[in-house]
Structure 1
């Protein structure tokens, strides 16, 4: 378990060793997930509202970023939710800012570069 924080944000990661020096992230701020770290990835914390998955994927498509794997989970219907998106190439800062600027997105975290 690793806890990271700055002035206004806190992040708690839980991971496991899967052998050969490789780890897998299994939890982020109590959200269950499976993130290998083999590909660039972003985590999008958002409100569970209609269309938000489409809005985020539209931004990625506009910048020709291909999604290799995606998981979506939520605490409760209509509450906080998390998208874990693994992609084929590094996501640039301008794309991150565009996703962060979407309505109902509260945080975007780049996990692997």
Structure 2
């Protein structure tokens, strides 16, 4: 399936819950390392999901912290590497649409106090 077909669905889901396209792009950038220009280029090129993830600059090292259930499937139990990346992205967009704080979605640690 082409990423360009899935991407508008992510944006629609987020916008229905008062989040923005920029929020979706930030989540995608965090996970994959794509900057805005590269993300737009992948969408225009109409690449499939396998190519989208294969050409990603880098998978975020904290991506393994994304756990939970998407469409009845536990993300951390998915064995196929591509399918797991897709499920991680699905889960991140779900969290965005559910109103979770961006710092939590992006698995950012709170600064420690002295």
Q: Output the TM-score relative to the length of structure 2.
A: 0.33
Bigger strand fraction: 1
Q: Output the TM-score relative to the length of structure 1.
A: 0.33
